[in-house]
Amino acid sequence: MLSDPFSHLPTTACRTIDMQKGDVLFRQNQTTSGLYRVVFGSVTLQRSGLGGDTLTLHRAVSGGLFAEASVFSATYHCDAICTEAGSVIKIEKADVVATMQSNLAFSEGFTRLLAVQVQQYRAHIELLAIPSAKERILAAVHAGYFDATVTELATRINLSHEACYRALRGLCDDGRMIRVGRGKYTLS
Protein backbone atom coordinates (compact mmCIF):
# COMPACT_ATOMS: atom_id res chain seq x y z
CA MET A 1 0.00 0.00 0.00
CA LEU A 2 2.49 2.60 1.11
CA SER A 3 5.50 0.88 -0.38
CA ASP A 4 7.89 3.06 -2.27
CA PRO A 5 6.91 3.29 -5.93
CA PHE A 6 10.44 4.25 -6.89
CA SER A 7 11.67 0.74 -6.10
CA HIS A 8 10.25 -0.13 -9.53
CA LEU A 9 12.70 2.11 -11.33
CA PRO A 10 15.84 0.73 -12.98
CA THR A 11 18.90 1.21 -10.80
CA THR A 12 20.47 3.44 -13.43
CA ALA A 13 17.67 5.98 -12.96
CA CYS A 14 18.99 7.14 -9.61
CA ARG A 15 22.10 9.04 -8.73
CA THR A 16 23.18 10.19 -5.28
CA ILE A 17 24.33 13.78 -5.01
CA ASP A 18 26.05 15.25 -1.97
CA MET A 19 25.15 18.80 -1.15
CA GLN A 20 26.45 21.60 1.03
CA LYS A 21 24.35 24.31 2.59
CA GLY A 22 23.57 26.91 -0.03
CA ASP A 23 24.03 24.55 -2.97
CA VAL A 24 21.55 25.09 -5.77
CA LEU A 25 20.04 21.87 -7.14
CA PHE A 26 18.08 23.67 -9.80
CA ARG A 27 16.71 27.07 -10.55
CA GLN A 28 13.40 28.42 -11.74
CA ASN A 29 12.95 28.23 -15.51
CA GLN A 30 15.72 25.68 -16.00
CA THR A 31 14.84 22.72 -18.17
CA THR A 32 13.59 19.89 -15.99
CA SER A 33 15.81 16.85 -15.76
CA GLY A 34 14.31 14.91 -12.89
CA LEU A 35 12.86 14.75 -9.44
CA TYR A 36 14.62 14.32 -6.11
CA ARG A 37 14.46 12.48 -2.83
CA VAL A 38 16.23 13.76 0.26
CA VAL A 39 18.44 11.14 1.94
CA PHE A 40 19.50 13.44 4.76
CA GLY A 41 19.84 17.16 5.20
CA SER A 42 17.12 19.48 3.93
CA VAL A 43 16.15 21.40 0.83
CA THR A 44 13.76 24.31 0.43
CA LEU A 45 11.85 25.09 -2.71
CA GLN A 46 11.51 28.80 -3.05
CA ARG A 47 10.65 31.52 -5.46
CA SER A 48 12.10 34.96 -5.33
CA GLY A 49 9.64 37.73 -6.06
CA LEU A 50 10.47 40.75 -8.15
CA GLY A 51 11.79 42.36 -5.00
CA GLY A 52 14.45 40.60 -2.95
CA ASP A 53 11.81 38.79 -0.91
CA THR A 54 11.81 35.01 -1.05
CA LEU A 55 8.82 32.75 -0.67
CA THR A 56 9.22 29.22 0.67
CA LEU A 57 6.90 26.89 -1.20
CA HIS A 58 8.03 23.65 0.32
CA ARG A 59 10.68 22.23 2.56
CA ALA A 60 11.83 18.66 2.06
CA VAL A 61 13.62 16.69 4.77
CA SER A 62 14.92 13.12 5.01
CA GLY A 63 12.78 10.76 2.97
CA GLY A 64 10.89 13.61 1.33
CA LEU A 65 10.44 14.03 -2.38
CA PHE A 66 10.46 17.26 -4.30
CA ALA A 67 9.91 18.45 -7.86
CA GLU A 68 7.61 15.48 -8.58
CA ALA A 69 5.47 17.59 -10.89
CA SER A 70 8.54 18.43 -12.95
CA VAL A 71 8.01 15.13 -14.76
CA PHE A 72 5.14 16.78 -16.61
CA SER A 73 6.67 20.20 -16.98
CA ALA A 74 9.34 21.52 -19.35
CA THR A 75 10.89 23.84 -16.78
CA TYR A 76 11.22 24.01 -13.00
CA HIS A 77 8.86 26.44 -11.35
CA CYS A 78 11.03 27.36 -8.38
CA ASP A 79 14.55 27.23 -6.99
CA ALA A 80 15.74 24.24 -4.96
CA ILE A 81 18.37 25.22 -2.43
CA CYS A 82 20.08 23.12 0.21
CA THR A 83 19.45 24.47 3.71
CA GLU A 84 21.23 21.70 5.61
CA ALA A 85 24.15 19.74 4.19
CA GLY A 86 23.38 16.15 3.28
CA SER A 87 22.61 14.21 0.17
CA VAL A 88 19.78 13.70 -2.29
CA ILE A 89 18.94 11.07 -4.85
CA LYS A 90 18.18 12.44 -8.26
CA ILE A 91 15.70 10.42 -10.29
CA GLU A 92 15.91 10.95 -14.03
CA LYS A 93 12.77 12.30 -15.64
CA ALA A 94 13.20 10.11 -18.72
CA ASP A 95 13.26 6.98 -16.59
CA VAL A 96 10.19 8.05 -14.67
CA VAL A 97 8.27 8.65 -17.90
CA ALA A 98 9.41 5.32 -19.36
CA THR A 99 8.61 3.36 -16.21
CA MET A 100 5.21 4.98 -15.94
CA GLN A 101 4.40 3.61 -19.36
CA SER A 102 5.54 0.11 -18.62
CA ASN A 103 4.82 -0.51 -14.98
CA LEU A 104 1.36 -0.11 -13.53
CA ALA A 105 2.42 -0.44 -9.90
CA PHE A 106 4.89 2.41 -10.34
CA SER A 107 2.37 4.48 -12.20
CA GLU A 108 -0.23 4.10 -9.50
CA GLY A 109 2.23 4.82 -6.73
CA PHE A 110 3.46 7.95 -8.42
CA THR A 111 -0.08 9.14 -9.03
CA ARG A 112 -0.90 8.61 -5.38
CA LEU A 113 2.11 10.72 -4.45
CA LEU A 114 0.79 13.59 -6.52
CA ALA A 115 -2.68 13.19 -5.03
CA VAL A 116 -1.22 13.51 -1.55
CA GLN A 117 0.61 16.65 -2.65
CA VAL A 118 -2.62 18.14 -3.93
CA GLN A 119 -4.23 17.60 -0.56
CA GLN A 120 -1.24 19.01 1.30
CA TYR A 121 -1.32 22.16 -0.81
CA ARG A 122 -5.04 22.54 -0.23
CA ALA A 123 -4.47 22.25 3.51
CA HIS A 124 -1.72 24.85 3.23
CA ILE A 125 -3.97 27.30 1.40
CA GLU A 126 -6.55 26.80 4.11
CA LEU A 127 -3.93 27.51 6.75
CA LEU A 128 -2.88 30.72 4.99
CA ALA A 129 -6.47 31.93 5.21
CA ILE A 130 -6.41 31.98 9.01
CA PRO A 131 -6.43 35.71 9.83
CA SER A 132 -4.90 35.74 13.31
CA ALA A 133 -1.14 35.24 13.56
CA LYS A 134 -1.45 33.24 16.77
CA GLU A 135 -4.08 30.89 15.39
CA ARG A 136 -2.17 30.50 12.13
CA ILE A 137 1.01 29.57 13.96
CA LEU A 138 -0.87 27.13 16.16
CA ALA A 139 -2.36 25.46 13.08
CA ALA A 140 1.08 25.35 11.46
CA VAL A 141 2.62 23.73 14.53
CA HIS A 142 -0.18 21.16 14.63
CA ALA A 143 0.44 20.45 10.94
CA GLY A 144 4.09 19.80 11.74
CA TYR A 145 5.43 22.83 9.85
CA PHE A 146 7.66 24.01 12.66
CA ASP A 147 10.59 21.71 12.05
CA ALA A 148 13.29 24.30 11.50
CA THR A 149 13.89 27.90 12.53
CA VAL A 150 11.27 30.45 13.50
CA THR A 151 12.41 32.58 10.59
CA GLU A 152 11.81 29.73 8.20
CA LEU A 153 8.36 29.08 9.65
CA ALA A 154 7.52 32.76 9.27
CA THR A 155 8.27 32.79 5.53
CA ARG A 156 6.20 29.65 5.03
CA ILE A 157 3.09 31.06 6.67
CA ASN A 158 3.26 34.61 5.31
CA LEU A 159 4.30 36.38 8.48
CA SER A 160 7.20 38.67 9.27
CA HIS A 161 9.61 36.94 11.61
CA GLU A 162 9.01 39.65 14.20
CA ALA A 163 5.28 38.96 14.21
CA CYS A 164 6.07 35.28 14.44
CA TYR A 165 8.26 35.67 17.53
CA ARG A 166 5.71 37.91 19.16
CA ALA A 167 2.84 35.55 18.44
CA LEU A 168 4.86 32.64 19.81
CA ARG A 169 5.45 34.58 22.98
CA GLY A 170 1.75 35.44 23.11
CA LEU A 171 0.88 31.76 22.81
CA CYS A 172 3.26 30.98 25.67
CA ASP A 173 1.67 33.74 27.75
CA ASP A 174 -1.71 32.18 26.98
CA GLY A 175 -0.40 28.81 28.11
CA ARG A 176 -1.10 27.29 24.70
CA MET A 177 2.55 26.73 23.93
CA ILE A 178 5.70 26.31 25.97
CA ARG A 179 9.11 27.76 25.32
CA VAL A 180 11.58 24.96 25.81
CA GLY A 181 14.69 26.86 24.84
CA ARG A 182 16.11 29.48 22.53
CA GLY A 183 14.00 29.28 19.38
CA LYS A 184 12.38 26.07 20.61
CA TYR A 185 8.69 25.87 21.36
CA THR A 186 6.25 22.99 21.81
CA LEU A 187 2.54 22.60 22.19
CA SER A 188 1.41 22.45 25.79
Residue of the chain from 78, 82, 168, 171 that contacts DNA (CB under 7 A): 168
Residue of the chain from 24, 94, 104, 187 that contacts a second copy (CB under 8 A): 104
Determine the residue type at 100.
M
| Binders of a second copy in range 24-53 (CB under 8 A) | 47, 49
Residue of the chain from 4, 118, 183, 188 that contacts DNA (CB under 7 A): 183
CB of 115 or CB of 178, closer to a second copy:
115
Do residues 108 and 5 touch, judged by C-beta distance below 8 A? yes
Tell me: does residue 163 bind DNA (CB under 7 A): yes
Chain center to CA of 106: 22
* 36 half-sphere exposure, CB direction, 13 A CA radius: 31
- Residue 12 CA: distances (Å) to CA of 80, 97, 115: 23, 14, 26
Tell me: does residue 115 bind a second copy (CB under 8 A): yes
CB of 86 or CB of 100, closer to a second copy:
100
Do residues 134 and 168 touch, judged by C-beta distance below 8 A? no
Closest distance between DNA and the C-beta of residue 164, in Å?
A: 7
Closest CA to 84 of 32, 28, 147, 144: 147
What residues make contact with DNA under the rule CB under 7 A? 21, 131-134, 136, 149-152, 158-163, 165-169, 179, 182-184
